[in-house]
Amino acid sequence: MELPVSLQLRELLLALALGLGFGAVYDLGRPLRRGRVLTAAADGLYVLSVLVCLLAFALYAGRGRLRLFALAAAAFSGSMWLWLSHSLRKKWKKWQKPAKRQKK
């Protein structure tokens, strides 16, 4: 049985939103990752929550199937969130540095 294009588009958009959420949660958990034990605990909790969310997504939005394009879209949008937030954070720090005065 084939899935109509409108439902595939809906699933793709939901996967993109899910991936953005994954990226945001991982980025917001950055302060928790201090030291080996806290990093392992935070990352383990993150992976568990991602697995539960992907299972729920596959069961409800995907109607029992986790399609490859949805998984790829979620991974892509999540990685784009992290890449953009990292590059913006670097630029923000650069902008916040006071300008060095030139000695005469």
The model's pTM = 0.70
61-104 residue pLDDT tens: 878 877 888 888 888 888 888 778 777 777 667 766 665 666 65
Report the C-alpha gap between 10 and 57 in whole angstroms: 12
Give me the residue spans of the domains in the chain. Answer: 5-96
Report the C-alpha gap between 19 and 8 in whole angstroms: 16
Report the C-alpha gap between 60 and 73 in whole angstroms: 17
Query: In this model, does residue 1 exceed pLDDT 80?
Result: no
10-38 residue pLDDT tens: 888 888 888 888 888 888 888 888 888 98
User: Looking up tokens 């958009």, which residue turns up?
Assistant: 13
